Every structure is written in structure tokens, then in C-alpha cells.
């Protein structure tokens, strides 16, 4: 925190809230860098305020961080190609036949990442209402003020988001159902069944492809379905794996070099997120299982 005097009561109050604010921003944004930016921006805004005019510093800061995060999420929707930065910094890939004991810690660490992927499927207002209320117990009237909506509307947004989150079952419990959805997607892609693809893709599905030239993001079931055949051929020759605890597929070239890693996030009976890594450098950094 630059420019703050250590005995400044406002600065001390901010420092006491910093960790919680960072946690709120990270759950909202899924990015450590963006969370730090949001917290720093909150401090800059606080430093320009009259401390006597702030009755509840914790509530004031939560509101400010919430609004900053909401603006960031909305900007990402407008510019999806730049929205994924460090949300999935390293992918843990294990064979889909039960993780070895040494993989347990890595998979446990991925639970937070799995929630972030589900949160990414929510609209910005839904995400804010769910994160602030369900994860940080912020009252709905405060959330309503951040959103500029009624308290009833804020409750409805949180409820809608909660249903989407709760529909994502733990990977082990829902493995069979998730694989059924993914198999239906791959079969439809192989046969060029456009309607079949739309039946298993969430209308707001997100496809992110890591290529040597950077990340390419595609939003929406229609656009993702149109390009689905590009990955279906490789996936058909691949091996089922778990990627950060989510069902996925890894495939190899004829010479044994890895070709791609594909991870799916399934909510209910729809695919809401597809992550594809074809960048050789990223693939080389992963500890991939052996080809079958």
C-alpha cells in the first residue's frame, strides 16, 4: 500500500481488511493479479475519502471491491479474449482410473479451481450475488446497493447462481454422468450432428484454446458446436483423464509426443466450459500419464 502512514487510522483499518478483501476479489475474479489490482484500487479510493463520512469501513470497502470486480467482469464479457490469465496456472492431469495417493493433495488443491471454473459460467451479477452472500455472508441489502437492484432481485440472482453451482457434483460421485455427457458431445461432433451438440452444450458455453500464439476464446453453443469437429478427431484417439479433477482427454501424436489436453466442466447435463491445450510448451510442462 503506497503512500499510507503507518499510524494513519484509515490505513490501519484498511490493512486489517486487506486479506478479506483480497479473498473476496479473488473469488469474484479468479485471478490473483486482478484481485490485487482491485484491492489497490479500493485503497486509492479510500485515501480520497473523508474518514468521518464512513460509518462502517468493512462494509464500505466490501462495496467498493464488489463494484470494481463487477466492472472487471463486465469488461471481460465485452473482451473475452483477454479474460483468462492466471485462473488455471497449472493443470493437474491424472489417469481417470482413480488418483494415486500422491495425487490426492494436488487434486484437493484443485477444488478451488473447479469452483472458479463454475463461477466463470455465471453472469457477472449472479457471480457477485453468490460470492458475496454465500461465501462471505454479505447481507442482500448491501449486495442490492452494489448491483443497483432491489433486495429481492439480489436474492433471486444468488438463488439462480446457487442452483448452477450445486448442480456441479464432486468429480468422483458424478463421473459416470459427466462422461455420458462428454461421450454424447464427442459422438455428435464425429457425426456432424449439430442438433446433438446443442443438446449437450450450455447456451453460454465457453471454449478456451491455448495455442502457441496465445489464447483463443469462443463463447456460445452455436459457435462452439460449429468448431467442435476440430477437436473430435484427436479426442477420439485419446485417453480419458482427470484434469484438475474434471473429466478430460489427453491425446498423442504418432511419434508419442502429446497432441492435446481437453478438460470439460459439466453442470447438470450440459457442458459449460471446455479447455483445450495444444501449445507444445504448455503440454511439455505437464506431468501427463503414458499413452495406453
Domain at 57, CATH number: 1.20.140.160
Whether residue 162 is found in the same domain as residue 175 = no
Query: Which residues, at least 6 apart from 9, have a Cβ–Cβ distance to it below 8 Å?
Result: 51
Whether residue 152 is found in the same domain as residue 254 = no
For residue 38, the number of C-alpha atoms closer than 13 Å in the C-beta half-sphere is 30
Whether residue 53 is found in the same domain as residue 22 = yes
Whether residue 106 is contained in a domain is answered as no
Whether residue 242 is contained in a domain is answered as yes
Whether residue 142 is found in the same domain as residue 23 = yes
* Average pLDDT value for residue range 157-180: 74
Sheet holding 246-252, edge to edge: 93-95, 239-243, 246-252, 258-267, 270-277, 201-211, 214-219
Whether residue 242 is found in the same domain as residue 158 = no
- Provide, rounded to the nearest whole percent, the portion of the chain with pLDDT above 90: 27
* Average pLDDT value for residue range 21-49: 89
Least confident of 1-5, 33-37, 40-44, 69-73: 1-5
In whole angstroms, how far apart are CA 82 and each of 47, 77, 102, 176, 264?
A: 30, 10, 34, 34, 20
Whether residue 161 is found in the same domain as residue 64 = yes
Which pTM was predicted?
A: 0.52
Whether residue 161 is found in the same domain as residue 188 = no
Distance from C-alpha of 63 to C-alpha of 154, rounded to nearest angstrom: 14
pLDDT for 151 beyond 90? yes
| pLDDT value of position 7 | 59
Domain of 22, in residue numbers: 9-90+122-166
Whether residue 190 is found in the same domain as residue 269 = yes
Q: Are 242 and 259 in contact (CB under 8 A)?
A: no
Query: Which one of 107, 131, 166 terminates a domain?
Result: 166
Whether residue 45 is found in the same domain as residue 159 = yes
Whether residue 142 is found in the same domain as residue 278 = no
Whether residue 55 is contained in a domain is answered as yes
Whether residue 160 is found in the same domain as residue 60 = yes
Q: What angle do CA 31, 33, 36 make, to 5 degrees?
A: 110
Q: What angle do CA 143, 111, 200 make, to 5 degrees?
A: 85
Which residue stretches of the chain are H helix? 9-29, 32-47, 57-78, 104-120, 124-130, 140-147, 151-166, 171-190, 194-200, 221-226, 229-236, 280-284
Whether residue 140 is found in the same domain as residue 184 = no
pLDDT for 39 beyond 90? yes
Helix (H) or strand (E) holding 262: strand 258-267
Q: Are 52 and 34 in contact (CB under 8 A)?
A: no
Query: Which one of 166, 184, 202 terminates a domain?
Result: 166
Query: Which one of 105, 139, 166 terminates a domain?
Result: 166
Q: What is the dihedral of CA 46, 28, 99, 89, to 10 degrees?
A: -70
Band of residue 129 on the pLDDT scale cut at 50, 70, 90 = very high
Whether residue 179 is contained in a domain is answered as yes
Task: Tell me how many domains the chain contains.
Answer: 2
Whether residue 245 is contained in a domain is answered as yes
Q: How many C-beta atoms lie closer than 10 Å to residue 232's C-beta?
A: 19
Whether residue 13 is contained in a domain is answered as yes
Least confident of 26-40, 53-67, 111-125, 168-182: 168-182
- CATH number (domain holding residue 263): 3.10.450.50
Taking alpha carbons only, the member of 263, 259, 264 closest to residue 280 is 259
pLDDT for 246 beyond 50? yes
Amino acid at each position: 500500500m503506497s503512500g499510507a502512514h503507518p499510524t494513519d487510522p484509515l490505513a490501519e483499518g484498511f490493512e486489517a481488511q486487506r486479506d478479506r478483501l483480497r479473498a473476496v476479489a479473488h473469488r469474484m475474479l479468479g485471478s490473483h493479479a486482478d484481485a490485487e489490482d482491485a484491492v489497490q484500487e479500493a485503497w486509492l479510493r479510500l485515501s480520497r475519502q473523508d474518514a468521518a463520512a464512513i460509518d462502517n469501513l468493512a462494509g464500505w470497502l466490501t462495496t467498493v471491491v464488489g463494484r470494481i470486480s463487477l466492472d472487471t467482469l463486465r469488461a471481460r464479457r465485452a473482451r473475452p479474449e483477454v479474460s483468462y490469465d492466471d485462473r488455471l496456472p497449472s493443470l493437474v492431469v491424472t489417469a481417470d482410473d482413480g488418483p494415486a495417493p500422491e495425487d490426492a493433495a494436488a487434486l484437493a488443491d484443485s477444488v478451488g479451481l473447479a469452483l472458479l471454473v463454475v463461477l466463470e459460467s455465471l453472469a457477472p451479477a449472479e457471480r457477485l450475488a453468490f460470492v458475496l452472500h454465500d461465501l462471505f455472508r454479505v447481507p442482500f441489502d448491501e449486495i442490492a446497493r452494489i448491483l443497483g437492484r432491489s433486495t429481492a432481485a439480489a436474492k433471486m440472482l444468488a438463488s439462480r447462481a446457487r442452483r448452477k453451482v450445486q448442480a456441479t457434483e464432486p468429480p468422483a460421485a458424478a463421473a459416470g454422468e459427466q462422461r455420458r455427457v462428454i461421450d454424447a458431445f464427442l459422438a455428435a461432433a464425429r457425426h456432424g450432428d449439430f442438433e446433438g451438440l446443442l443438446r449437450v452444450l450450455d447456451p453460454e458455453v465457453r471454449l478456451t484454446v491455448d495455442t502457441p500464439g496465445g489464447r483463443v476464446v469462443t463463447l456460445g453453443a452455436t459457435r462452439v458446436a460449429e468448431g467442435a469437429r476440430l477437436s473430435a478427431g484427436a479426442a477420439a484417439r485419446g485417453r480419458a483423464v482427470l484434469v484438475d479433477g474434471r473429466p478430460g482427454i489427453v491425446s498423442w501424436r504418432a511419434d508419442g509426443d502429446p497432441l492435446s489436453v481437453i478438460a470439460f466442466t459439466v453442470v447438470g447435463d450440459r457442458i459449460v466450459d471446455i479447455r483445450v491445450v495444444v501449445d507444445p510448451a504448455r503440454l511439455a510442462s505437464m506431468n501427463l500419464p503414458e499413452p495406453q
